[in-house]
């Protein structure tokens, strides 16, 4: 019985590669793969055929999690869509399940291709998310074909603003806050549709140089939530605003070694609930941070008695903080 | 009363209609026992034992068949637990006609919100829940059903049993 990819013969694929890259770059040998179950089999220069479209496989993407920077993700491959010449990211099925510890709580997480595929359908056309489509390969694996976003990580962009925190906060932060509010509104869009991002981290936001917008990426994480579907996303948004308001994380060990007087003003309640080595009560470090903004940060501190349950609650407070930033800086954006 | 028929609620407005929101935990059992002890002998009390099972999405199962199997097993287990809770109330002297069981399997973003929706529909004057005593950090990451109900309940009293 013919498999879906078999209608594309090697000669046809060689022609595609020739048209795209020139005859001298056509590999002497390569595999044509229609079943991606064993993603380790997919090697550089192989061609994966999905829904009759050939993808010329290039490098692995990298993972920065758990301190293992540049750890190759063998199930995530950069590829050239040979029918269009466009760069795509192929996310192959990897049923990873693992335990992580956040705020001292163990959580079992897993990767869900189905969830990511469903969200790709949901966010199609939304400017603040990565875009793509999904297809089932010959073995029924849900492969996501993502559009490649050209641009740096949002956190890297922000870290480069200003000569110091004072300069950053008075000249750049209002613009950053506006971008953050837009990102929170994007998460609200998911929540309003009964979905969660699942892995909100600052390195999961890419500044798209073409569309001039920040875009959330990587929504294949899932876990069994407790009372609320949204709480875990909310803590991710909290970590992000603390990072943005501080122009980077303000780390307790750094204060201890370099700014002992400031360190001595801190109490346990001033620290981040999720990461105990980070300061959440940033007003103690940067006194010009308005109360309204600092109150938002304190929702994510160990001293918090009440937490944000929804993005709506947070967006309301962000609007107040934004108005205070306009008053403080005299800037509109 | 069927799941969607609330026609006789007008009558219940004159009663003391309690909603005990339960799951399979010991805290829920304690809440039921507390109500049984506290309200025994009250002829005008009506109790709804409610359990919400958040319907998991397809992501958690390899096939739809497995998902349906999980739902069936969960429903069967919860039916049995609810029957046990009802037995506690009956043993305390409440009558069969004073007790109703509701099991709702539904997609929900917040169990607390789902309980409060039921409270509003049924117009219960008291919501009773057990409290797990989760840590501050756990509440931060996953939320707390009892806190949600305490903060958002309208037009009713809330009883949290530890």
- What pLDDT, on the 0 to 100 scale, is given for residue A171? 97
Decide yes or no: CATH 1.10.357.10 for domain A154-329.
Answer: no
Choose, out of A228, A268, A300, the residue to mutate when testing the contact with B (most B CBs < 10 Å).
Answer: A228
What is the spatial distance between Cα A237 and Cα A312, in angstroms, rounded to a whole number? 13
CA nearest neighbour of A225 among B141, B73, B64: B141
Give the CB-side neighbour count of residue B113, counting CA atoms within 13 A: 14
Give the span between the Cα atoms of A90 and A73, in whole angstroms: 11
CB contact under 8 A, B107 and A231: no
User: Per residue, what are the HEC states of chain A?
Assistant: CCCHHHHCCHHHHHHHHHHHHCHHHCCCCCCEECCCCCHHHCCCCCEEEECCEEEEEEEEEEECHHHCCCEEEEEEEEEEECCCCEEEEEECCCCCEEEEEECCEEEEEEECHHHHHHHHHHHCCCCCECCEEEEECCCCCEEEEEECCCCCEHHHHHHCCCCCHHHHHHHCHHHHHHHHHHHHHHHHHHHHCCCCCCCCCHHHEEEECCCCEEEECCCCEEECCCCECCHHHHHHHHHHHHHHHHCCCCEHHHHHHHCHHHHCCCCHHHEECCCCCEECCHHHCCCCCCHHHHHHHHCCECCCCCCCCCHHHHHHHHHHHHHHHHHHHCCCC
B136 in contact with chain A, both atoms CB, cutoff 8 A: yes
B139 touching chain A per CB within 8 A: yes
Q: Among all residues of chain A, which has the CA nearest to that of B149?
A: A227
Instruction: Quote the minimal CA–CA distance from B62 to chain A in Å.
Output: 10
Do the chains contact at B110 and A115, CB–CB below 8 Å?
A: no
pLDDT of A232-258, one tens digit each? 999 999 999 999 999 999 999 999 999
In order along its 162 residues, chain B shows pLDDT tens digits of: 444 455 555 455 546 899 999 999 999 999 999 999 998 888 889 999 999 999 988 888 888 999 999 999 999 999 999 999 999 999 999 999 999 999 999 988 899 999 999 999 999 999 999 988 788 888 888 889 999 999 999 989 999 998
User: Inter-chain contact A227–B60, Cβ cutoff 8 Å?
Assistant: no
* Chain A residues bordering chain B (beta-carbon distance below 8 Å): 102-105, 107, 112, 114-115, 118, 191, 194, 222, 224-232, 235, 273-274, 302, 304, 307, 309
Residue of B111, B136, B140 with shortest CB distance to A235: B140
Phi, psi of B151 (to 5 degrees): -80, -25
Residues carrying CATH 3.30.200.20, chain A: 4-147
Inform me whether the pLDDT recorded for A2 exceeds 60: no
Tell me which of A99, A187, A227 to substitute to probe the interface with B (most B C-beta atoms closer than 10 Å).
A227
The C-alpha atoms of residue B82 and residue B50 are separated, in whole angstroms, by 8
Q: What is the pLDDT of residues A31-71, one digit of tens each?
A: 999 999 999 999 999 999 999 999 999 988 876 544 445 67
Q: Which of residues 31-90 of B touch A (CB under 8 A)?
A: 56-60
Residue range A4-147, CATH number: 3.30.200.20
Among A242, A231, A148, A156, smallest CA distance to A197 is for A231
B136 contacts on A by Cβ (under 8 Å): 273, 302
Give the count of Cβ contacts less than 8 A between chain A and B: 76
Query: Among A99-108, A216-225, B2-11, which is the least confidently predicted range?
Result: B2-11
Q: What is the rounded CA–CA span in Å between residue B48 and residue A305? A: 32
**B135 contact residues in A (CB cutoff 8 A):** 104-105
Judged by DSSP in three states, B15 sits in: coil
On whether the CB atoms of residues A51 and A141 are closer than 8 A, the answer is no
Taking an 8 Å cut-off on Cβ atoms, the answer to whether A229 and B109 are in contact is: yes
- For A113-153, how does the pLDDT look when each residue is reduced to its tens digit (9 = 90+)? 999 999 999 999 999 999 999 999 999 999 999 999 999 99
A325 min Cα distance to partner chain B (Å): 27
Yes or no, beta carbons of A226 and B137 under 8 Å apart: no
Answer whether residue A9 shows pLDDT above 90: no
Residues in A touching B108 (Cβ below 8 Å): 229
Contacts of B143 in chain A (CB under 8 A): 225-228, 230-231, 307, 309
| Beta-carbon separation of A227 and B148 below 8 A | yes
B141 touches chain A (CB under 8 A): yes
Q: Is B137 on the interface with A (CB under 8 A)?
A: yes
Distances (CA, A) of A140 to A114, A130, B63: 12, 23, 12
Topology adopted by domain B9-161: Rossmann fold (3.40.50)
DSSP letter for B161, please: E
ipTM value for the complex: 0.78
Q: How far does B113 lie from chain A, in Å, by closest CA?
A: 9
Contacts with B106 (C-beta within 8 Å, 6 or more apart), sequence order: B52, B53, B54, B55, B114
The strands making up B126-130's β-sheet, listed across from edge to edge, are B99-106, B45-54, B16-21, B126-130, B157-161
The DSSP string of B85-152 is: HHHHHHHTT--GGGEEEEEEEE--SBHHHHHHHHHHHHT-SEEEEE-----HHHHHHH--HHHHHHHH
What residue spans in chain A does CATH classification 1.10.510.10 cover?
154-329
Contact B89, B35 (CB under 8 A): yes
| Amino acid B2: pLDDT | 47
């Amino acid at each position: 019985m013919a498999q879906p990819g078999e209608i594309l013969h090697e000669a046809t694929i060689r022609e595609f590669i020739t048209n795209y890259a020139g005859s001298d770059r056509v590999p002497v040998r390569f595999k044509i793969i229609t079943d991606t179950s064993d993603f380790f089999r997919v090697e550089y220069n192989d061609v994966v055929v999905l829904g009759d479209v050939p993808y010329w496989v290039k490098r692995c993407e990298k993972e920065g999690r758990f301190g293992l920077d540049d750890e190759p993700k063998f199930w995530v491959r950069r590829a050239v869509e040979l029918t269009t010449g466009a760069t795509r990211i192929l996310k192959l099925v990897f049923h990873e399940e693992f335990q992580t510890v956040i705020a001292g709580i163990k959580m079992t997480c897993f990767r869900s291709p189905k969830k990511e595929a469903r969200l790709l359908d949901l966010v199609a056309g939304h400017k603040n998310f990565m875009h793509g489509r999904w297809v089932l390969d010959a073995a029924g694996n849900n492969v996501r074909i993502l559009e490649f976003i050209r641009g740096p990580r949002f956190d890297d962009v922000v870290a480069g603003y200003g000569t110091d925190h004072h300069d950053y906060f008075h000249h750049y932060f209002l613009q950053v806050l506006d971008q953050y509010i837009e990102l929170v509104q994007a998460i609200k869009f998911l929540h309003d549709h009964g979905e969660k991002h699942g892995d909100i981290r600052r390195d999961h936001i890419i500044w798209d140089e073409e569309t001039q917008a920040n875009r959330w990426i990587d929504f294949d994480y899932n876990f069994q939530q407790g009372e609320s579907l949204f709480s875990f996303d909310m803590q991710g948004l909290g970590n992000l605003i603390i990072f943005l308001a501080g122009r980077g994380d303000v780390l307790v060990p750094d204060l201890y070694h370099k700014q002992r007087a400031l360190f001595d003003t801190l109490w346990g309640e001033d620290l981040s609930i999720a990461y105990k080595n980070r300061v959440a009560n940033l007003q103690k470090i940067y006194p010009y941070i308005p109360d309204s903004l600092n109150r938002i940060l304190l929702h994510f501190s160990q001293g918090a008695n009440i937490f944000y349950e929804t993005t709506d609650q947070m967006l309301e407070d962000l609007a107040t903080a934004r108005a205070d930033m306009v008053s403080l800086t005299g800037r509109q954006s | 009363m069927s799941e969607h028929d609330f026609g006789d609620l007008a009558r219940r407005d004159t009663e003391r209609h309690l909603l005990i929101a339960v799951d399979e935990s010991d805290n829920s059992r304690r809440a039921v026992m507390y109500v049984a002890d506290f309200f025994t002998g009250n002829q005008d009390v009506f109790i709804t034992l409610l359990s919400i099972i958040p319907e998991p999405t397809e992501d958690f199962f390899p096939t739809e068949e497995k998902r349906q199997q999980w739902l069936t097993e969960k429903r069967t287990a919860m039916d049995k637990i609810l029957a046990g809770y009802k037995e506690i109330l009956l043993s305390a002297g409440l009558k069969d006609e004073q007790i109703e069981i509701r099991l709702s399997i539904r997609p929900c973003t917040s169990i607390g919100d789902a309980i409060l929706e039921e409270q509003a529909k049924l117009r219960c004057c008291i919501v009773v829940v057990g409290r797990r005593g989760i840590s501050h950090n756990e509440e931060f990451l996953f939320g707390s059903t009892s806190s949600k109900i305490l903060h958002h309940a309208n037009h009713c009293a809330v009883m949290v049993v530890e």
